[in-house]
Amino acid sequence: MNEQSTLTKPCDHDGCGCQIPISRDYCNEACRMAAEEQNVGSTCECGHAACQQLHHHH
């Protein structure tokens, strides 16, 4: 196992469910801006399909 190359953590934007490398803070600029503006509780605008699915699960 080479776990060091696959370590991930949740995106630091509270409204985002993306898994990202631990060396990064946000999955993309949209999440960085949303977090800096404290725009939590609304739909995440990062555009990642895996993240959007979290908001539409039933």
Residue among 9, 10, 29, 31 that touches Zn ion (CB under 5 A):
31
Residue 35 to residue 41: CA distance in whole angstroms: 11
Residue 35 as a binder of Zn ion (CB under 5 A): the answer is: no
Q: How many residues bind Zn ion (CB under 5 A)?
A: 9
For the chain, how far is it from start to end, CA to CA, in angstroms? 35
Residue 20 sits at φ, ψ, to 5 deg, of -130, 160
Residue 27 as a binder of Zn ion (CB under 5 A): the answer is: yes
Binding site for Zn ion (CB under 5 A): 11, 13, 16, 18, 27, 31, 44, 46, 51
